[in-house]
Structure 1
Amino acid sequence: MATARTENVGPMVMGLNKQNGQLRGQNKPPAVQPAPPGQGKGFGAHQKAGGPPQDGGGIKFGDDWKRSLLLPPKDNRVKTSDVTATKGNEFEDYCLKRELLMGIFEMGWEKPSPIQEESIPIALSGRDILARAKNGTGKSGAYLIPLLERIDLKKDHIQAIVMVPTRELALQVSQISIQISKHMGGVKVMATTGGTNLRDDIMRLDEIVHVVIATPGRILDLIKKGVAKVDRVQMIVMDEADKLLSQDFVVLIEDIISFLAKNRQILLYSATFPMSVQKFMAKHLQKPYEINLMEELTLKGITQFYAYVTERQKVHCLNTLFSRLQINQSIIFCNSTQRVELLAKKITQLGYSCFYIHAKMMQEYRNRVFHDFRNGLCRNLVCTDLFTRGIDIQAVNVVINFDFPKNAETYLHRIGRSGRFGHLGLAINLITSEDRFNLKAIEEQLVTDIKPIPSSIDKSLYVAEYHSSGADGDGEDKPERQQDST
């Protein structure tokens, strides 16, 4: 998929439509507070046009180059030690190109997070990396910054590949790459995923491409057709490596690796590392530098509760939560695509604005829902586990497990959609009698405490104070009701 398509998905208001995933319980979208600047943004990131000219005429040695940056508003929200427990390094400490630093700062990334401090200098040295860090702590920046720093614009071939397990994550990572490399004078980034026109990708690869962000099936297809020349790739990154090396993808990954040069650099990043990752590491990585920032598994900023209900009470319970919580944006998880669509319809009938997304939807509609939800056009999103991998939407402060997951790994990735980059979030689990054993097992495996839901939840646990915008956080922020019955 060409870069142009990742940038030109414009907002589009749709009515009730079973296919497109955008169900609206009102005539206009709620006024969702825009996501503040932070680590790991994709669609909806700071997109002001302009900035210092890229043709070399604007910035000379000795200029106060930081003055000319178009910085987003400063993010003054409280952050947890997941991202603040650093060594005190600065991005300038890594001897990065000035043009790359400009893109980093204009993303709102002020200082490296712990995973970035550990990862960036090692990746720049060319060494293989195996990195474990919590969801939402800046892993994308940890590999994209050294990857872009090492791109040689004098060479017109593919120099780096980032592999991700989902199409949405590919779009997000490519958008971050485009944003932080925009001053670098011509780094060509391409996203290519299944579900899009193969001919468009073939035409795009006929031009110069330096970085490819891809899902495994599509990039392997392009390699085997002789269109994507990867024999001179110097770096390959696997984001959400545990998923990429699961049974769903591992055969494809092994096949892709076989086309690469023997001296390539491999970087693996994930929050969880099962045996499949360790086997791959032993086979393909050369004396990897291991980073483990996972002394505890769950994010410090996420408060977790459960509500004990029957299956028939779930929708009523959800309705009560909507009316009582101060939701900026919420993601609601179900265990099947059928239940996603049924619940989205129910939420709309209750009068709340709602989108839904799952893997069986057409890619065009998935892209539109993802883009519009990220840009704050809707407050609630119902989805399957398609949306648990790496998706970073800063405005999400509440995650609800309408259906409780079967295992600890899925639970960890689901609740990690809130509390991004050290901020506060709330995870609420609707538990039936059949789920109680899973609940206990997940608490034990993650060494975390999921408490019974209180009659009133303290807003300070999950509502950010946006000092920079002057908001004081007072007053209930209940979802708007639809004006006309549907």
Structure 2
Amino acid sequence: MSSNAFASLSLDPALLKNLQGLGYKEMTPIQAQSLPPILEGKDVIAKAKTGSGKTAAFALGLLNKLEVKRFRIQTLVMCPTRELADQVSKEIRRLARAIHNIKVLTLCGGMPFGPQIGSLEHGAHIVVGTPGRLLEHLDKGRLKLDDITTLVLDEADRMLDMGFRDDIRHIASQMPANRQTLLFSATYPDEIQSLSADFQKQPVSVSVESVHSEQNISQLFYQIEKHERVKTLMALLSHHRPQSTVIFCNTKRQTQDVADELQVNGFHALAIHGDMEQKERDQVLVRFANQSSSILVATDVAARGLDIKDLEAVINFELSRDPEVHVHRIGRTGRAGSEGVALSLYTQSETYKLEEIEDYINKPLSWGNPDDLVDNGDPVRPPMVTLQIDGGKKSKVRPGDILGALTGEHGIEGAHVGKIDIFPFHAYVAVKRASANRALKSLQQGKIKGRNFKVRKLR
């Protein structure tokens, strides 16, 4: 028998028989690594993308330990969107077919409250839901979590993106401390480590993907005349067409000038520098991080603390005066196994800086020729659009309220909603460009938390 066969695990015979009937034989890599510690009752933090078989991994774990005769909620699975929660519920029911009388209940925003209240009164073994709606039922005393033995956070990075961290924390605080907690995430930003530290005890870490390495960054230097900087910058953007780019300048004034010049030429660029008010800075960072702007022009100081996933390119409009800063700048791309490009412009008078960089990184540099750059089409259009809502934490607006208002009756799909950021007096939500007008109308004509708020589309 293969060591990757499901039959090699200490699973309930009824579950194994059902797996055979469903045609499940060999475990996927994420299942082979995560199921043994899950079945042993350990906390697990797993890096796994949709389609990797992660749902079956945690579903088999929670079904194996479920006590069917105890008609109490024993497992809670939290998901970022209604669509994912529905998908997870279906998969759990499919895997549970051989065990009679298991009740799985789905609690999501954008669905009527009435039937959910009735279902909760009838009880369930497993609840799958979105944080906003779970919190509403919890606050009204309808959802009891005293008997939870397993908490699953699915697509945890996406839940953090959507601003659900406080909701997750509050929901978890209502459960027994000695439960098993399983955390699944496609990426491992710092917030995921911090979330794990909050909720997990000595978790087993599982990952089936490569980590960041400098090999993922292709770095090229272009020699230009001083007056050719902007022209060459636009040629680089048109040649590579990155979805997300940070362009570094050495002065605040230049940052704004470069962003303005790019905008005039049809590029979706925003500037960030020290002379901006906090609200402006927040808005710029939100729009770049949520993919509704594809280019951020920044000084080193303004870019501090910038944590952008999947940054495809870094362009040095000017070389830094310090080789260490240069290496820090370009290290923002090519993370988590993805490919990145680092492109730098320099004039002949700056050649000494290249020698310093070469000494610092201890390997030879590679050169690009501006004449080899090809115009590959119109400037990239960001995939998302940001809607600004004139209500935030002070108005008690939560991410779940916004998600519910967007995806309710006649609303847009949850999969079309991106990052949600909530500040004291404003909230920002990214939606797919194709759904932006419907989403705007939905928020302008509907209510959030029973109230009307001004909503506008940021251009």
Q: What is the TM-score with the length of structure 2 in the denominator?
A: 0.49
Q: Which has the larger radius of gyration?
A: 2
Q: Per chain length, whose mean CA-contact separation is higher, i.e. which structure has more relative contact order (CA < 8 Å, sep 6+)?
A: 1
- Judging by fraction of residues, say which structure has more strand: 2
- Judging by fraction of residues, say which structure has more helix: 2
Q: What is the TM-score with the length of structure 1 in the denominator?
A: 0.46
